Amino acid sequence: MARGSTPVASSLYALRQMLGLTPANGDAALTVHPIFVCIDCEAFEHAHHKITEIGVAVLDTRELDQRSAEAKQWIEKIKYGHFKPIEYGLLKNKNFVKGCPEAFNFGTSTWIKLADARRVLQNIFDDPTRLHEAADFDKPLSKTGRDVIFVGHNASSDTSFLKQVGFNVAVDGGTKATMDTQKLAGGTKKKSIALQRLLLSLDVDAYNLHNAGNDAAYTLQAMLLMALKDQSTPGSVAADLLKYSGKLSPAKHSPIVAPHVFAGTAMGCTIESAAENGSIATDMRTNIQRRAERQERKIVVRTVRNASEVPATTAMALQRPVTSHSSHIFFNDPGP
């Protein structure tokens, strides 16, 4: 929290007050007409200090009509952003989660220089309403003077990732408070609630998770949907989560490639040249990746151990690194 900021109990009641759904009942409201800024980061699975994606979703509560609090209408007011440091443009997660950095469902991805990331983030928090101008350094931005609420799913993880690019949410962001959708849904350190599970309980058919832009978008949508759901039927958020307590199917992916632009000092660069200048080796297969590949080859060998000979296609597969192909889809409107 920034100096002077007020800690917020991660309660749906406090959230409903912030959204104007519930009156303060005589108590002084924590904030009036705040702007919610949701951030999600993706880090390279073999080097967590390398932040490969920064996803942003912004909701200005002044644009909401509390007289007609319908999920679809409110979600349409959210603005989305997806920023990717060009130096890490060749890095892609595949061994522990299925990354899909090219599959931003909610608009255009923006390539930036790693050195520009802090400035972009500062612009976002100074004036979240001008999210789409945050990486345009030719347009000066000034602080709005409005209260900003930081939103995240397991928010402490993302604040730690943002520090890797030199941005401290509490100090630099000047946030009034933090809303953690993990805690809003009843999750704890010992018993976390995956974003995918939360979205299923809210009837959101999400695609291309583990893209930072999509995760930020779905997290802010989930926050809104939880508030509206709890307003309509108190206790229903926790009750519906219990219906999805079992093992989840793999997250859905469908092939799209989002349009992209280069901004800031990344303009005129190429991903390949930036990666080389950023001291990322051309061969980015680390020892951990090589061990994973060897393990997959052993699995293939065991499956054909009893055969008289290894099929030609299998033999060819054993000679090359194991790769995975991601897929993506357009935004699926969750509806009311």
Q: List phi, psi (to 5°) of 211.
A: -105, 125
CA 19 from centre of chain: 22
pLDDT at 141: 84
One-letter identity of residue 132:
H
**What pLDDT score was predicted for residue 247?**
86
Query: 173 Cβ partners below 8 Å, 6+ apart?
Result: 2, 37, 121, 125, 148, 150, 167
Q: How far apart are CA 218 and CA 60, in angstroms?
A: 16
Q: How far apart are CA 185 and CA 193, in angstroms?
A: 8
Reference 59, options 221, 253, 241; nearest CA is 221
Owner of token pair 């090359």: 320
Q: Domain segments of the chain: what residues?
A: 12-271
Q: Are 3 and 168 in contact (CB under 8 A)?
A: no
User: Tell me, what's the pLDDT at 277?
Assistant: 63
Q: Which two tokens stand for residue 158?
A: 């993302």
Neighbouring C-alpha atoms within 13 Å toward the C-beta of 161: 24
pLDDT mean for each 10 residues of the chain (336 residues):
40 91 70 93 91 98 86 95 95 86 96 96 97 93 92 94 95 94 90 94 95 98 96 90 86 91 91 67 47 53 44 35 32 40
As a whole number of angstroms, the distance between CA 325 and CA 102 comes to 12
Token pair 């880090």: residue: 43
> Which positions ≥6 away from 204 have C-beta within 8 Å?
218, 221, 222, 225, 332, 334
CATH top class, domain 12-271 = alpha beta
- Residue 315: per-residue pLDDT: 34
Contacts of 242 (CB under 8 A, 6+ apart): none
